[in-house]
Amino acid sequence: MDTQNPIDHPDLSDAAAHAAAAHLIEQSLGHLYSAALRTAVLHHLADHVAGGPRTASELARRTGTDAGALRRTLRYLATRGIFREDDNGAFHLTPSGQFLRTGVPGSLRDAVLMLTDDIFVRSSGALDETVRTGAPAFPKVFGAPFFEYLRGDDTTRALFDTGMAAFSEPLDDLVAGAYPFPEHGIVVDVGGGRGGLLRRVLLRHPGLSGVLFDQAPALREHVLEGVELAGRWRAEPGDFFTAVPDGGDVYVLKHVLHDWDDGAAVRILSACRRGLAPEGRVLIVDSVPEPGNDPHPGKTLDVAMMTLVTDRARGPKDLDVLFARAGLRRSRILPTPTFASIVEAVAA
């Protein structure tokens, strides 16, 4: 039996060993960071600091919180680069903290509220169950599969829809600008929710028209109204497992396939293939993790999704298998400056 003390490992100095152990303990408390971010959002701390630095006592008076507990939380968030404490004990907003503000372009406030909600936290807390069984923990924790639960809970569905819209917004304009959309034709945003991506595509490409396709509840708060897009779009409710609007020149599936197992994903892709116009294309906008040990947001999201639904982030070879089953073939992958890539497929 090996009784060697890990901090006496011959490959590590004492300092390196203790640093590695401290890092492990810090990572084990990662759930506190999520809780602190959520606390900052719920008490609008970034909004209160946006006008200039404020002490914890000033912020406590503005937010109706306890000054001591608030200062300790702010100090912790400062170690993660969300706020910065100066020598006078006042807290400043950092570039990262700016994204927690309400109503500013690119705000991730609603995304943070979604990702730190019980639907993620309690499911992630049961990751050991997912690893043991290979099935998402969400149904065991909440009593129903993820999307069935959303259909029965309007509050959580609204949280999810607004959170996903905020999560996706930074990507929308990048995709609209990075992909060479045709000058004319129809773009169908399949499972497009509020239509943020479709809006950006239509604004950048005035010769295109669009169809926002999703379940009716997701379409209620779409963002396509306005004189600048008048007459160039329609919103159509439906079920992408059975059929999508016909005649699309480009079908876009953003953050859709990773929610579903292979069989369901093939059904969605097959529906797009049946509707595809001649020379049309299907775009998968999603995280496409590459092999290796380098950090990648998609690898983190993949584990989070694993606890919620039955599928995963897919690499290029995984997507190729799905495309082949749906009568498509991958033609190229275009990276974006964010965690997601654009995977283009055409008729096989």
The DSSP-derived string for 275-328 is: HEEEEEEEEEEE--PPSSSS--HHHHHHHHHHHHSS-----HHHHHHHHHHTTE
Sheet (strand 328-335) strand order: 233-237, 208-214, 185-190, 248-254, 276-286, 341-347, 328-335
The alpha carbons of the chain give a radius of gyration, in whole angstroms, of 23
Place of tokens 């950006």: 200
The length of the chain in residues reads 348
Interacting residues of 173 by C-beta distance below 8 A, sequence separation 6+: 200, 204
Q: Say if residues 255 and 268 touch (Cβ distance below 8 Å).
A: no
CA 47-51-56 angle, 5° bins: 70
Distance CA 29, CA 154 (A): 32
- Of 23, 48, 258, 296, which residue is the catalytic one? 258
As beta bridge partners, residue 92 has 84
258 is catalytic: yes
Distance CA 186, CA 232 (A): 9
HEC sequence for 8-58: HCCCCCHHHHHHHHHHHHHHHCHHHHHHHHHHHHHCCHHHHHCCCCEEHHH
Cα 245 to chain centroid distance, Å, stands at: 26
DSSP letter assigned to residue 258: G
Cα 196 to chain centroid distance, Å, stands at: 14
- Return the active site residues: 258
